[in-house]
Structure 1
Amino acid sequence: MLVADEDAAKRQRLVDRLKAAGHRTIEARTGAEALALVDAEPVDLVVLNVKLPDVTGFEVCERIKSTERHAALPVIYVSALAVQMIDRTRGLSGGADAYLTEPFEADELIASVHSLLRYYHARRHAEQLAQRMTRLAETTLALSLAPSVAKLLEAASAGAARIFEGPAVVFAETVDGAGMAAATNGPDSPTAIHVMNVDDPGAPVGIAVRVDAPGGWPLAAWPAGDTVSVAIARLRVDRAPVYVAVATGTQMSGYPMLRQLAQAVAAAVEAQRSYDEEHRIAVTLQRSLLPPRVPQIAGLDIAVRYEPASAETEIGGDFYELTMIEGDLLVAIGDVTGHSLHAATVMAELRHAVRAYAVEGHPPGAVLHRVDVMMRTLLPGELATLCLLLLDPGTGRIRMASAGHLPPLVVTRDRKVRYHEHLATLLGVRAHRPDDIEFTLPKGGTLVLFTDGLIERRGSDIDEGLSTLANAASRVDADIERFCDRLLAELSGPEVDDDIALVAIRRA
């Protein structure tokens, strides 16, 4: 408690009375000293004389109450001179919570102090609870937007630090069983990801809280003399639990906020794990259904690339096909609409259908017609783009048909570039399909087929992407593998937002 009075003897009497009642006190002689101590020390109540040497107690109280931080801080006026009704009215109207005129009994002072402290502490508790609930809601939203387990843990740790205004550590395991923790020393400190393991096989399903020594959670700087309260949330017996560790001194009885936060983190981690598991299955399925090897064909150099979307995004249905049929190279590249494990399974059905109809000897347009009928019959509602061509390795002659797919690009030896368009509707839509087109891949020329993930970017139109690809492809590398790597590096960037399939064929 802060006692502010210019009279040292009177100030000492007030201090003695408060100390006798069990309160810790600090003292100020002037109004300036009182204001400085209120800002610097954890003051719970101010006992303030109206008469001070520099400013009046009225002004000191008004300045204290004018700040958001101290608006609820209790202030008791004491005065032996300003005892008129007008003085009391001014003091109480200016924000004071009590006004005692001297002489007064010690019991009256202590009773006033205890009454105001009860209200002050109850109000602080309610305000703190409301603030923590607001920050819990903000943290829960941040968890739902996190694109990976690592980002989720960072959001959880930063949120815990803001909720409890202290250090926090949040631990979870990824779908692969790798343990990681996000730790921060407080709401204004950075959050860092650490590799970590927690050996706790006996954690039950549900939410429990235990108190650990700080040494068990060394990633954060815990307050001296405090322990660590750890919420353990386990939603499934076959999943590792999630741990949220915070300073025990920040906790309310029963740990209500800590339990709610741990439950929110566990639910978000479980959703992310399930998504990551599906993503991994879909990537594995896609890779298993793509051609296992590139065919070796005299007179042609062939390179392929398949890049799945980054782990933070959903998987698509991109695919390609390269196979020899009666002396011609069958080349197909396509994209099933949608992003899910289902899209990958539809992709597999289309690829097998293309191969089957092509083996029967049908030209590209007839193959697409049959695949379209198959989709509308057996896969109603599904849509896909597909570019299909037959290439004669000896002459470079190409016969091509497309179903709404991006046009292939031909780059000649002297760096001239041209897209070969064949305008037709997507597979899965009943519509007339135009005749096949024919063109020749010249000697030394390179044919580039690709899916939209290579050129489409948020905020840019598709023509801009096609132009960028044409410019990049015009700089032909001598090695076709290096050529493909460069196109991916220049056009896709470090984070792949959509699946990319790329096929490059160079005629010797």
Structure 2
Amino acid sequence: MDGYDKRPGATTVLVVDDVAANRYAMGAVLRRAGHRVVPVASGGEALVELDARLHDGALPDVALVDVGLPDMSGFELCRRVRARPSTATLPVVHFSAAALGPRDRCRGLDAGGDAYLTVPAEPQEIQAVVRAAVRGARRRGDFELLAHRLTLLSETIVTVQAARCPSELADSAAMGAARLTGTEAVVFVLGPDGTLDTGTSRSRLALPDLSAHEEVTRLIGRLAQGRTGVHSTVVPAPLWPAGFFRPGRQDDARLVLAFTQERRTPVCIATPAHRTPPPRPVDDVSLLRLAQATAFAAGTLLMYQAERHIALTLQRSFLPEPRRLPELPDVDLVVRYVPASRDTEIGGDFYAAVRTPSGFLTAVGDVAGHSLEAATVMVELRHALRAYGVADGDPRALAERLDRMLQHYHPEVTATVCLVLADPATGRARIANAGHIPPLIVREGGQAEYVKVCGPLLGLGLDRPEPTELRLAPTDRLLMITDGLIETRGVDLAVSLDQLRTAAAEAPPGLAPLCDTLLRCFGHDREDDIAMLALRLG
């Protein structure tokens, strides 16, 4: 039966008494009041009856239990009913024809009983006690349902807030809406540029084609005009594209529409409008709260994506394309830059190549952090490096100047950089390192080794060691990278460095094949940007 039907005739009462006359008399009183009565003669029969009704999904609403049953006391039967999760919420009213004292009444309450009757009693009293027990159980059920809905809602909101992109956000919200309503759900996030991200509690393969999504985009746009806050409406089946809830079927759709704080991005949660059982008020409130939370999360995500787009544009504007790098007759140079995946934050990775009075200067660096600020500081560092290098290409002097520049203008920021000043005529190279991954030299014959050079981060104001000096043979390839190429969460950096060294030693000849081989080996789905520079003198 429907637990939300409050009519007395919808109430089923289990009467447990070993005396047939008593069962008949109690049943007659209850039936006259419009209740359905299920009489049984013992505690064992009562448990069997409950099991059978549980299987059919029709538990009684209340049990009237005689204290003095032949096989077990009414108190023991109550304890057994309470011990079963499936019947633990069934209200139990004990009754007895004997004049029992307060101690026995307390035993009934301690066993889990809801009330106690002394019979014979007036019919009005029996009916009132039954109504009170059922009313209390239903209220407890409502509170438990509300607590369950709130738990589901909070779990879903946590998942929604952890989403890394609009499509993941829409999927998380759709799965949560389906759990809250017990039906299929679809969630749409309409971006300010007209893009539509769709999430579903079904398989994506079962969604309708692109034309249906375009129709939904137009519909959401019309519904969103002039609105703010959160709204709920029902769209009739002829106006709602088929297939979103059931393959090839048209259904009326209940839409809950919410907006980001800037009112630019509507979020729409769609569920079937006509379902059995019908939605309860707590379901509607939960969907409204979920839509609101999804809209707030969408606003944050879209704001981040806009910032990331600006930062990427900034990086790509100031990192020179290979065809714009300075050229020298005795220097071969190859660079690669790969931004992190779409769902991760922008970084401050950079490379540079500069002609100086004392040789050819190359640099690869990384500003700490992932934000628009990191990209901005990266641009400043790169410009400063080019400006300082015009007068003096000494790696140590350049590192010291960059360090002072950071301390003065960005005292809260640190960065790493590796600087190589090479003389193409002699092969002499001077290398300074500020907390960065050291260069890797790949020699002819499959040998590869890291240059032993180190130094403190930029921005700390610490003393810097003298540069490391070495000579590069015409066949040597010098490789400089940022840690985005190899850094993997949960893997020791020393292990990753050794894997890189092995892969570089086995790479085909040439600078471009070396870079491309390493990107194929390590550059997939990285959480950080990748900057790479390879050079050869000769």
TM-score normalised over the length of structure 1: 0.82
Q: Tell me how far apart the structure 2 counterparts of residues 101 and 214 of structure 1 sit (CA, whole Å).
A: 58
CA 1:304–1:36 in structure 2 vs 1: closer, same or farther (change >3 Å)? farther
Note if contact 1:234-1:242 (Cα within 8 Å) is conserved in structure 2. yes
CA shift, 1:320, in A, is: 0.3
Q: Tell me how far apart the structure 2 counterparts of residues 93 and 366 of structure 1 sit (CA, whole Å).
A: 84
Question: Percentage identity across aligned positions?
Answer: 37
Give the aligned residue type for 2:49: E
CA shift, 1:355, in A, is: 1.4
Q: Tell me how far apart the structure 2 counterparts of residues 264 and 477 of structure 1 sit (CA, whole Å).
A: 52
Aligned to 2:532: 502
CA shift, 1:423, in A, is: 2.7
Note if contact 1:2-1:34 (Cα within 8 Å) is conserved in structure 2. no
Q: Tell me how far apart the structure 2 counterparts of residues 482 and 17 of structure 1 sit (CA, whole Å).
A: 93
Aligned to 1:84: 98
Q: Secondary structure at the match of 2:159?
A: helix
For residues 321-332 of structure 1, the aligned pairs below 5 Å read 321-324=352-355, 328-332=359-363
Give the aligned residue type for 1:240: T
For residues 471-486 of structure 1, the aligned pairs below 5 Å read 471-478=502-509, 480-486=511-517
Moved more, 143-152 or 465-474: 143-152
Aligned to 2:244: 219
- 1:234 correspondence with 2:259: yes
CA 1:23–1:477 in structure 2 vs 1: closer, same or farther (change >3 Å)? farther
Moved more, 264-273 or 372-381: 372-381
Aligned to 1:156: 173
Q: Secondary structure at the match of 2:487?
A: coil
Note if contact 2:15-2:38 (Cα within 8 Å) is conserved in structure 1. no
Aligned to 2:318: 289
Give the aligned residue type for 1:200: I
CA shift, 1:3, in A, is: 4.9
Q: Tell me how far apart the structure 1 counterparts of residues 200 and 22 of structure 2 sit (CA, whole Å).
A: 50
Note if contact 1:182-1:193 (Cα within 8 Å) is conserved in structure 2. no
Query: Structure 1 regions of 5+ residues with no counterpart?
Result: none
- 1:409 correspondence with 2:440: yes
CA shift, 1:76, in A, is: 4.7
Q: Deviations over 1:295-354 (max 9, x none)?
A: 465565533222223333322111001345579543111111222101111111111121
Note if contact 1:19-1:25 (Cα within 8 Å) is conserved in structure 2. yes
Aligned to 1:130: 147
Please point out which of 480, 489, 500 is paired with 2:520.
489
Q: Deviations over 1:32-76 (max 9, x none)?
A: 132231354153603456599998876654333223453232235
Query: Structure 2 regions of 5+ residues with no counterpart?
Result: 1-10
Moved more, 273-282 or 107-116: 107-116
Aligned to 2:50: 34
For residues 326-475 of structure 1, the aligned pairs below 5 Å read 328-393=359-424, 395-475=426-506
Note if contact 1:385-1:405 (Cα within 8 Å) is conserved in structure 2. yes
Q: Secondary structure at the match of 1:200?
A: helix
CA 1:86–1:66 in structure 2 vs 1: closer, same or farther (change >3 Å)? farther
For residues 259-274 of structure 1, the aligned pairs below 5 Å read 259-274=288-303
Q: Tell me how far apart the structure 2 counterparts of residues 454 and 159 of structure 1 sit (CA, whole Å).
A: 36
CA 1:101–1:85 in structure 2 vs 1: closer, same or farther (change >3 Å)? closer
Q: Tell me how far apart the structure 2 counterparts of residues 157 and 53 of structure 1 sit (CA, whole Å).
A: 54
Note if contact 1:325-1:359 (Cα within 8 Å) is conserved in structure 2. yes
Q: Tell me how far apart the structure 2 counterparts of residues 117 and 420 of structure 1 sit (CA, whole Å).
A: 81
Note if contact 2:399-2:434 (Cα within 8 Å) is conserved in structure 1. yes
Aligned to 2:8: none
CA 1:241–1:466 in structure 2 vs 1: closer, same or farther (change >3 Å)? same
Aligned to 2:3: none
Moved more, 237-246 or 14-23: 14-23
Q: Tell me how far apart the structure 2 counterparts of residues 130 and 226 of structure 1 sit (CA, whole Å).
A: 30
Aligned to 2:156: 139
For residues 293-332 of structure 1, the aligned pairs below 5 Å read 293-294=322-323, 295=325, 298=329, 301-324=332-355, 328-332=359-363
CA shift, 1:286, in A, is: 0.9
Q: Tell me how far apart the structure 2 counterparts of residues 477 and 291 of structure 1 sit (CA, whole Å).
A: 26
Q: Secondary structure at the match of 1:159?
A: helix
Q: Tell me how far apart the structure 2 counterparts of residues 301 and 362 of structure 1 sit (CA, whole Å).
A: 19
TM-score normalised over the length of structure 2: 0.78
Note if contact 1:158-1:191 (Cα within 8 Å) is conserved in structure 2. no
CA shift, 1:255, in A, is: 3.9
Q: Secondary structure at the match of 2:385?
A: helix
Aligned to 1:256: 285
Q: Tell me how far apart the structure 2 counterparts of residues 311 and 58 of structure 1 sit (CA, whole Å).
A: 64
Give the aligned residue type for 2:499: T
Q: Tell me how far apart the structure 2 counterparts of residues 65 and 225 of structure 1 sit (CA, whole Å).
A: 45
Note if contact 1:212-1:230 (Cα within 8 Å) is conserved in structure 2. yes
Note if contact 1:332-1:389 (Cα within 8 Å) is conserved in structure 2. yes
CA shift, 1:9, in A, is: 11
CA shift, 1:430, in A, is: 2.9
Q: Secondary structure at the match of 2:177?
A: helix
CA 1:20–1:154 in structure 2 vs 1: closer, same or farther (change >3 Å)? farther
Note if contact 1:47-1:75 (Cα within 8 Å) is conserved in structure 2. yes
CA shift, 1:282, in A, is: 0.9
Q: Secondary structure at the match of 2:281?
A: coil
Please point out which of 244, 254, 258 is paired with 2:269.
244
